[in-house]
Amino acid sequence: MPLQGKLESIYADVLARNAGEAEFHQAVSEVLESIGPVLERRPEFADAKIIERICEPERQIVFRVPWEDDRGEIHINRGFRVEFNSALGPYKGGLRFHPSVYLGTVKFLGFEQIFKNALTGLPIGGGKGGSDFDPKGRSDREVMRFCQAFMTELHRHIGEHTDVPAGDIGVGGREIGYLFGQYKRITNRYESGVLTGKGLTYGGAQVRREATGYGCTFFVEEMLAARGKSFEGKDVVVSGSGNVAIYTIEKVHELGGRVVACSDSTGYVRDPKGIDLELLKDIKEVRRERISTYAEAKPDADFVSGRSVWEVPCEVAMPSATQNELTADDAVTLVRNGCIAVGEGANMPTTPEGVRVFLDAGVAFGPGKAANAGGVAASALEMQQNASRDSWTFEHSEERLREIMRSIHARCSEAAEQHGMPGNYVAGANISAFTRVAEAMLSLGLV
């Protein structure tokens, strides 16, 4: 069977075996579209069925999570952990607490995590987990009881040499603390390396909170530099206003750019003078209020309800909220308005059609598996510090993060160049990451 036919057959099998999991299908399709040139050069990967094996998780864990709210009412949520691939190291990937979470979400994120982690050059495999629990509107004690119930089951499947979860949407420092406390309580071990994203007082690492936003900004900085440009004086739009968005804005401002708009699920706020970061942090990290509050405090800012932030003209776009938030129509609007670079701070935030618009227009497009790898890179650095009972300074940690993001950019750029697709970071990221994982799988035998 011709190579293209083999890939189509593999994808058809993925669709049949994973029915109804649209995000997972999208993630697999995006990788398969890029790796044809690799298989032509390395037929041993096809002979060893590396693609078929890499598309099937090594282990999928689904469990119930019963917990009691403050009124004494019992709730039953569903928990997930997909341990996708451990060829390069222990499974590594976040936990997401959000009502939309189901097995397909976790599998898509875990599949992406394999390649994202491989791009860092660090010894970590790929996995992901979470629950359909919604922490919004819940008291601290309710969140604690849920986390304890969740970890009561999860603890038997994780460990610093097996599977190391971290945070994601809905799982921040508060949740990681409760999860780690329950793990320690059940196992009677102070195993710091079993979770990352911990507080600085109990084994956490400097720059971990900032890492995804900072890392994405460093990656875009490298893409711009490759074109003889920089952030200096450029208008930037960032979607979202959570952790990733906030620290993306912070680093863009440090590098001379001006973020003129950001958003949340209710709409977006535009501030032509540049987003006031301290006000945004107060609204989102302290008061936990909607983005519309920003416009109430800033007379020069406007809040636009229920519309896409991508209608705001900019030279750099950094989608930092959630999957498939940036459509083909949004991409056309951005290109028309003069956008020259896009860095994905979220996981797969641009639809496949949107990606094609950017690539066809010659926009420098940094896919999430490369551009937002800073979070997991900092997690791996936290694991290093835990293993050596060490603690690094903020400056040293940030410099290590910057080095890793530069190396990721170089790997993507070189792989794309070598396979006849210069400047195509989507293909470069997929090719570089897939090759590293495939070589490891080949070396380890049929396991």
pLDDT of residue 421 exceeding 60, the answer is yes
pLDDT of residue 2 exceeding 70, the answer is no
Domain of residue 310, CATH code: 3.40.50.720
Do 30 and 67 lie in a common domain? no
**49 domain-assigned:** yes
> In which band, very low, low, confident or very high, does the pLDDT at 149 lie, cut at 50, 70 and 90?
very high
Tell me the per-residue pLDDT of 14-57, one tens digit each, with 9 for 90 and over: 999 999 999 999 999 999 999 999 999 999 999 999 999 999 99
Is residue 84 within 8 Å of residue 127, measured between CB atoms? yes
Do 183 and 268 lie in a common domain? no
**437 domain-assigned:** no
Domain of residue 139, CATH code: 3.40.50.10860
Provide the greatest CA pair distance for the chain.
64
**328 domain-assigned:** yes
DSSP 97-162: E-TT--HHHHHHHHHHHHHHHHHTTSS--EEEEEES---TT--HHHHHHHHHHHHHHHGGG-BTTT
Task: Confirm whether residue 113 is marked as ligand binding.
Answer: yes
Do 34 and 19 lie in a common domain? yes
Q: Which residues of 200-215 are buried (b: 16+ CB within 10 A; e: fewer)?
A: eeebbbbbbbbbbbbb
- The bridge status of strand 126-131 relative to strand 74-85 is antiparallel
> In which band, very low, low, confident or very high, does the pLDDT at 429 lie, cut at 50, 70 and 90?
very high
Task: Confirm whether residue 116 is marked as ligand binding.
Answer: yes
Boundary-marking domain end, from 350, 371, 392: 371
**294 domain-assigned:** yes
Do 50 and 103 lie in a common domain? no
**404 domain-assigned:** no
pLDDT of residue 292 exceeding 90, the answer is yes
Which position among 128, 198, 234, 284 bears the catalytic label? 128
User: The sheet that has 302-305: what strands, in order across it?
Assistant: 302-305, 267-270, 258-264, 235-238, 316-318, 341-343, 364-366
Tell me the per-residue pLDDT of 300-354, one tens digit each, with 9 for 90 and over: 999 999 999 999 999 999 999 988 999 999 999 999 999 999 999 998 899 999 9
* 377 three-class SS: helix
**98 domain-assigned:** yes
pLDDT number for residue 387: 95
Do 265 and 327 lie in a common domain? yes
Q: What percent of the chain has pLDDT over 70?
A: 99
Do 95 and 10 lie in a common domain? no
Tell me the per-residue pLDDT of 166-209, one tens digit each, with 9 for 90 and over: 999 899 999 999 999 999 999 999 999 999 999 999 999 999 99
pLDDT of residue 4 exceeding 80, the answer is no
CB atoms within 10 A of CB 142: 18
Residue partners of 31: CB distance under 8 A and separation at least 6: 111, 115, 430, 434
In terms of Cα–Cα distance, which of 400, 399, 391, 433 is closest to 416? 433
Mean pLDDT of 258-270: 97
Tokens encoding 82: 């997909």
Task: Confirm whether residue 234 is marked as ligand binding.
Answer: no
DSSP 192-259: GGGSSS--GGGT--TTTTTHHHHHHHHHHHHHHHHTT--STT-EEEE---SHHHHHHHHHHHHTT-EE
CB atoms within 10 A of CB 26: 17
Boundary-marking domain end, from 191, 219, 254: 191
Do 71 and 218 lie in a common domain? no
Do 281 and 142 lie in a common domain? no
Number of residues in the chain: 447
Boundary-marking domain end, from 320, 352, 371: 371
Which domain covers residue 218, as residue numbers?
211-371
**385 domain-assigned:** no
Do 128 and 226 lie in a common domain? no
Report the sign of the C-alpha dihedral through residues 231, 275, 318, 254, in that order.
Answer: positive
Q: What's the domain count of the chain? A: 3
Phi and psi at residue 343, to the nearest 5°:
-125, 120
Q: CA torsion angle for 382, 386, 392, 396 (degrees, to 10)? A: -40
CB atoms within 10 A of CB 289: 13
Residue 128 catalytic?
yes
Residues 9 and 347: their CA atoms lie apart, in Å, by: 26
Mean pLDDT rounded to a whole number for the chain:
96
Task: Confirm whether residue 351 is marked as ligand binding.
Answer: no
Task: Confirm whether residue 199 is marked as ligand binding.
Answer: no
Mean pLDDT of 421-444: 97
Tell me the per-residue pLDDT of 431-440, one tens digit each, with 9 for 90 and over: 999 999 999 9
Do 178 and 220 lie in a common domain? no
**393 domain-assigned:** no
Task: Confirm whether residue 298 is marked as ligand binding.
Answer: no
Q: By CB neighbour count within 10 A (0-12 exposed, 13-18 middle, 19+ buried), where does 298 fall?
A: middle
Tell me the per-residue pLDDT of 56-93, one tens digit each, with 9 for 90 and over: 999 999 999 999 999 999 999 999 999 999 999 999 99
CB atoms within 10 A of CB 110: 27
Do 71 and 183 lie in a common domain? yes
Tokens encoding 372: 């937002």
Do 340 and 357 lie in a common domain? yes
Is residue 98 within 8 Å of residue 175, measured between CB atoms? no
Q: How far is CA 102 from CA 58, 99, 126, 405, in A?
A: 18, 8, 18, 31
